[in-house]
């Protein structure tokens, strides 16, 4: 029986229900003008060498050679270990580039000149539940901005707005309300998206040796983990570990998964979401281009329903629908793009 678009759309609609875990990659941010890994790599190739003039690091030359040979940034930087001064330079340059582009999007949204597609998406998603979980390696805050613009709370795992400390319980409690269950008082969640950022965020800063969340850029370098083997200062490992282990619990408790703009190139995240690139729960993948690893994940997931939405090619922006059983269908809609998904599915 031939694959029918109407049936695929029905399955996509059914997928958007409580128990869904969202995994958001750089593709979602790239669509809004945030630099992805390739432009970030090109940027670093220009700005890092002058900063290493007084403290040369041969490892950086190895990265440049790998990038020039065609490696993606994660692979190139994962082959070596940098000096601490090089890591600091990479983090500062990465944060500055993304902050600049992020501010442009924030300005448009706050001015009322732009509605992010994720805002439209979560408005529909939360018709089917009060709490959803999202994991993202992205440093930017477009997901948080879009969710709050939809009138939905964001559980960041931090308590406080201008000087927030990592306190998962207080953060969760801020998104609950009391009600009477018969004669007894009970609690239930207010609509909120719990966001886990295992690679850090542009609003995380070192204040007196502790990680503080602050939305204002006060001239400090954010605490983020850049691609590759080099990790940030050991004293901050607990903050990243909490985000990662809590996110892993979200993976364990979820009934279905949806990947948005994710390339399946992050070993740390995939250890629990899809170990050995094998999907174990009903999955939807939305991306402009299916990476080799994404294709492997689909091929490895026999018996699990997987629906992948991608562009036919870089010049043909129609959607190629790929199903885990091997069927494909090309349709004249951009369902792989969140804006097109919103218009065509929800």
pLDDT band at 131 (very low <50, low <70, confident <90, very high): very high
Across residues 35-43, what is the average pLDDT? 91
Please give the C-alpha separations between residue 227 and each of 6, 96, 151, 307, 336, in angstroms, as whole numbers: 40, 16, 33, 28, 25
Calpha distance 339→343 (Å, rounded)? 6
Calpha distance 316→246 (Å, rounded)? 39
pTM for the full model?
Answer: 0.91
Is residue 134 a contact partner of residue 145, using CB atoms and an 8 Å limit?
A: no
| Average pLDDT score, the chain | 89
Across residues 6-23, what is the average pLDDT? 95
Please give the C-alpha separations between residue 263 and each of 5, 44, 88, 100, 293, in angstroms, as whole numbers: 25, 21, 26, 24, 7
Calpha distance 91→236 (Å, rounded)? 14
Is residue 283 a contact partner of residue 311, using CB atoms and an 8 Å limit?
A: no
Q: Which residues 6+ apart lie within 8 Å of 154 measured at CB? A: 144, 147, 148, 192, 193, 195
**Per-residue model confidence as pLDDT tens digits over 160-174:** 989 998 888 899 888
What is the predicted pLDDT for the residue at 234? 47
Is residue 156 a contact partner of residue 213, using CB atoms and an 8 Å limit?
A: yes
Please give the C-alpha separations between residue 310 and each of 63, 172, 333, 336, in angstroms, as whole numbers: 30, 35, 11, 5
Angle at 117 between CA 223 and CA 93, to 5 degrees: 25
How many residues does this entry show for the chain? 346
β-pair type (192-196, 131-135): parallel
* Cα four-point dihedral sign 17, 20, 25, 29: positive
Across residues 293-318, what is the average pLDDT? 91
Above 80 in pLDDT, residue 203?
yes
**Per-residue model confidence as pLDDT tens digits over 214-261:** 999 888 989 888 876 555 454 456 666 677 777 777 777 889 999 999
Collapsing DSSP states into helix, strand and coil, what is residue 112?
coil
**Per-residue model confidence as pLDDT tens digits over 256-279:** 999 999 988 777 677 777 877 888
What is the predicted pLDDT for the residue at 235? 46
Higher pLDDT, 186 or 205: 205
What is the predicted pLDDT for the residue at 195? 95
């Amino acid at each position: 029986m031939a694959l029918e678009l109407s049936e695929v759309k029905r399955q996509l609609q059914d997928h958007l229900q409580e128990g869904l875990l969202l995994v958001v990659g750089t593709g979602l941010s790239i669509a809004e003008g945030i630099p992805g890994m390739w432009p970030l790599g090109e940027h670093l190739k220009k700005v890092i060498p002058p900063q290493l003039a007084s403290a040369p690091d041969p490892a950086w030359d190895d990265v440049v050679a790998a990038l020039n040979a065609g490696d993606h940034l994660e692979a190139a930087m994962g082959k070596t270990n940098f000096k601490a001064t090089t890591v600091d330079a990479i983090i500062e340059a990465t944060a500055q580039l993304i902050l600049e582009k992020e501010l442009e999007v924030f300005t448009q949204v706050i001015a009322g000149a732009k509605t992010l597609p994720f805002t439209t998406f979560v408005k529909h998603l939360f018709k089917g539940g009060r709490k959803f979980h999202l994991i993202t390696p992205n440093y930017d805050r477009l997901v948080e901005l879009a969710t709050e613009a939809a009138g939905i709370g964001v559980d960041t795992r931090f308590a406080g707005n201008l000087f927030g400390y990592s306190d998962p319980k207080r953060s969760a409690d801020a998104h609950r309300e009391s009600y009477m269950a018969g004669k007894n008082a009970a609690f239930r969640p207010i609509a909120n998206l719990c966001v886990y950022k295992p690679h850090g965020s542009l609003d995380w800063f070192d204040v007196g040796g502790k990680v503080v969340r602050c939305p204002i850029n006060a001239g400090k370098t954010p605490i983020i983990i850049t691609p590759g083997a080099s990790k940030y200062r050991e004293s901050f490992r607990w903050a990243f570990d909490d985000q990662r282990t809590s996110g892993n619990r979200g993976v364990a408790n979820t009934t279905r998964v949806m990947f948005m703009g994710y390339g399946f190139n992050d070993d740390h995240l995939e250890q629990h979401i899809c170990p050995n690139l094998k999907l174990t729960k009903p999955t939807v993948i939305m991306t402009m281009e299916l990476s080799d690893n994404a294709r492997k994940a689909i091929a490895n997931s026999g018996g699990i329903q997987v629906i992948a939405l991608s562009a036919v090619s870089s010049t043909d922006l129609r959607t190629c629908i790929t199903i885990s059983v091997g069927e494909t269908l090309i349709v004249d809609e951009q369902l792989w793009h969140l804006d097109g998904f919103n218009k065509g599915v929800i």
